[in-house]
Amino acid sequence: MCYNAPMKHGTVKNGRGSGWLPLDNAAKIYPPAMTEGWNALFRVSVTLDEPVDRQVLKRALLKTVARFPNFAMRLRRGFFWYYLDKLDGAPDIRDDVQNPCARMLFRENGGFAFRVRCFGRRIAVEIFHVITDGAGGLSFLKTLTAEYISIKYGVKVPREGDILDCDEPASAEELADGFLTHAGPKAVPEPPVRAYRLYGTPDRDFLHVTCGILDAAEISARAKAAGVTVTEYLTTVLLFAAADWKKARGGVLQARRPVKVTVPVNLRRLFGCRTLRNFANYANVGLDTRLGEYGFDEAVQIVHHQLKLETDPRRLAAKVASNVGIERNVFMRLVPLFIKDPIMSIAYRIEGDRKSTTCLSNLGLVKLPGEMEAHVERFDFMLGSLIENPVACAAIGYGGKLYVNFTRTIRESFLERAFFTRLVKMGIKVFIESNEDR
């Protein structure tokens, strides 16, 4: 039985325990785009107050995976599309490594499209984007942690918000493809403006991670003083860092391109949807440095208003409608996968993430119930390497700290240096750690 019949938008049947899922609209591009050495991954991790007990973690994982049916899935090829097929159990818990988000081989992983890694006090979950997006991944990790803490310490953790109750079955709404149900009446694609691209010495097989730890209260006070959100504030700093890169490293052919930052937008809150699968869209904000220099206070306002415009629900619904329109197109549907696959792969490589210079994904402040808070020290969020953009930035806040993880597949650490030193010059304390070789 299929969880949501692709033909009937919105009519979703619940079939916990058996079944399959068509890929959601955002996930469709990732399987054709993946190669032997790369697939689109992201990682959320939690650091506890004690070393992780792997036996307990395994038990917690089995319960959590049963609650999140979209995680208990194997990616398979159909005749027209890829699909997710039911898989029993849970992947084995693996040791953490120095280079997170290295390409995932499903056959090494029991067929699962996510993996759980352990290092000392930290539990990390690396997720292939076909399963879910950052918010869905965080919900999974929080539920897994809640399950772990309640087994390990015998406490009852209240399940609220995105910490789910593992004794309840998954609802139909949680497995629905939100894009299909929430597409707007009119499809408006995003104008294809090419953004300035960062070039560096490629180092594709090793993801360099630089984590900057900031004081959350300090940053939010600054943002509040400017009348903007933390995401908007950080985006402005990142735009300035990218503009610094452009000024310093140039690129004759790229002189006319604006620097732009992609900011993923979680559509769940905007559209009141509780899906556990991908449900995000993107806003591209930029500074056109060809027009002249911007002061920080001006730029922060420009970014604020741009994001406001871009995240207008009607506008996002129109963008979603345009993406859904491509997928529901008769030609797209009737062309067999073996033809569609290479075409989509090439299209993604050409179009991919050219509209932005880099990206900043902020999962926001994590709030936990007191029972969990006592055992949880830290959260981290990072993005695996993107196809074109060599540097990505991801942020998450917890316990009064803001963790900003830069991940890159080039040697040059220029962008994060520009980002963090700008914060330092603005009087904000930055604490740095990394996975560099010593």
Partner 1 sequence: MSYCVNCGVELNESERRCPLCGVEVINPAKPYSPNAERPFPASAENVTHRAVRVIAAKVLSLLLAIPFISVLLADLVKDGRLTWSLIPAGCIALFFMAAVFPCLFRRPRVWLFILFGTLETAAFLFGLYMLLGGNWYFLFALPVTLLTGAFVIGCQLMLGSKKASLPLKMIIVLVLAAVFVLVLQMLIELHLKSRIHFDWSLYAAVACAMLAVVVLIVGSLIRKRENVRKKLFF
How many CB atoms neighbour CB 46 within 10 A? 26
**Residue 384 makes contact with partner 1 by CB under 8 A:** no
**Residue 50 makes contact with partner 1 by CB under 8 A:** no
In residues, how long is the chain? 438
Contact 260, 198 (CB under 8 A): no
| Binding piece for partner 1, criterion CB under 8 A, among 158-166, 227-235, 360-368, 427-435 | 427-435
Please report, for residues 47, 415, 417, the alpha-carbon distance to residue 422 in angstroms, rounded to integers and kept in the order given.
Answer: 28, 11, 8
Spatial CB neighbours of 209, under 8 Å, sequence gap ≥ 6: 100, 382, 405, 406, 407, 434, 435
| Closer residue to partner 1 in complex, CB, 68/420 | 420
Among 206, 337, 377, 388, binds partner 1 (CB under 8 A): 206
Task: For residue 404, give both structure tokens.
Answer: 């900003």
| Closer residue to partner 1 in complex, CB, 98/329 | 98
**Residue 212 makes contact with partner 1 by CB under 8 A:** yes
**Residue 27 makes contact with partner 1 by CB under 8 A:** no
For the CB of residue 38, give the shortest distance to partner 1 in the complex, in Å: 9
**Residue 14 makes contact with partner 1 by CB under 8 A:** no
**Residue 160 makes contact with partner 1 by CB under 8 A:** no
| Binding piece for partner 1, criterion CB under 8 A, among 1-9, 200-208, 224-232, 311-319 | 200-208
Q: At what angle do helices 54-67 and 134-153 cross, to 10 degrees?
A: 130
**Residue 248 makes contact with partner 1 by CB under 8 A:** no
**Residue 36 makes contact with partner 1 by CB under 8 A:** yes
Contact 88, 73 (CB under 8 A): no
Cα 157 from Cα 165, distance rounded (Å): 9
Contact 170, 69 (CB under 8 A): yes
Helix (H) or strand (E) holding 204: none
**Residue 329 makes contact with partner 1 by CB under 8 A:** no
Among 100, 258, 264, 364, binds partner 1 (CB under 8 A): 100
| Interface positions with partner 1 (CB under 8 A) | 36-37, 95-100, 102-103, 119, 204-206, 209-212, 413, 416-417, 420-421, 424-425, 429-436, 438
